[in-house]
Amino acid sequence: MSLILQQLIVLYVFLSLGWLFGTKKPALREQTGLLSFLLVNLLLPCKVFLSFSTNFTLSYLQNSYQTIFISVGLLLILHLLGKPVGKLLSRDETEKSVLEYSVTISNYAYMGYTLAEGIWGSRMLTDLVLFCIPFAMYTYTVGYMKLTGSKKNLKRLFNPMTVAIALGMIWGLCGIPVPAVLRTAAQSASACVGPLSMLLTGFVLSTFSFSSLWGSPRDYVMVVLRLVVLPAFVWGLFWLCGLKSFSTPALLMASMPTGLNTIIFTKNAGRSPALGARLAFLSGILSIVTLPLWLSILQ
């Protein structure tokens, strides 16, 4: 439990610093695009590539090949659950899409990957990334369409993250050694993911007035659903179905707060990011209580 709390405290310190810097120096908010670009296109791919190139061996594949099929099944269940939740909690089309997306997708990348590696090491990070591949594909196709109202664009599936996963798999299966200089550079980039992702979260949230982020009772219902009900549902489902060996990455993914895409995607599409900001803020605060409890189950 102490290691979990330590990792969480470090992340939330950087989130608070991002909020503080963004509030005191509004000009810094203009750097959110740069931080997001670096995280998505450089730092996260480096972390993922290192993890897969180290752990994705033939024996690992033989023991974990079922993961993707199980993950797809869970994704479909969460996607179907999101539809009635959106209709029940809002009549606004943009808000419905945010609510549906938030049921299906959590902050499994920026926050989940960092916590998985920091608490359990590189092997757990590989397990989580592998489990979340279908969720990443959903994010950049169905999820992106929901939040922006745009048409399907399969080109979005070919991005630095998917390339990093593919290359890491090849490196790991073939046992190709990563040159020492490149490994050191990638490790340095990987170490920046946690701090910069939380700084980015703080910067993004600082663009909204503090009073507007506390939300309505409806928002708290959604946050409790995201942080308590859905993790409990996923944990119970996997145990009842005899999938205990796959429950760790599933619970890690399900227990994370809502992410930033509900803000960034909607804002870039000219839609209101207000609900996404409130959910990210409230779930981030309340996850300080819920995450140690859920993660302690996995230890």
Nearest Cα residue to 134 out of 167, 162, 169:
162
What confidence score (pLDDT) does residue 299 get?
67
Average pLDDT over every residue of 44-51: 94
C-alpha–C-alpha distance, residues 86 and 281, integer Å:
19
- The predicted-structure confidence for 70-117, as pLDDT tens digits, reads as follows 999 999 999 999 999 999 999 999 999 999 999 999 999 999 999 999
Instruction: Measure the CA–CA gap between 31 and 277, rounded to whole angstroms.
Output: 18
Distances (CA, A) of 28 to 62, 144, 211: 47, 26, 21
Strand segments (E) across 132-215 = none
Domain regions of the chain by residue span: 2-297
d(CA 282, CA 260): 13
Topology of 2-297 in CATH?
Na+/H+ antiporter like fold (1.20.1530)
Helix orientation angle between 193-206 and 274-297, rounded to the nearest 10 degrees: 140
Closest CA to 102 of 247, 282, 271: 282
State pTM to two decimals. Answer: 0.91
Residues 6+ apart with CB under 8 A from 181: none
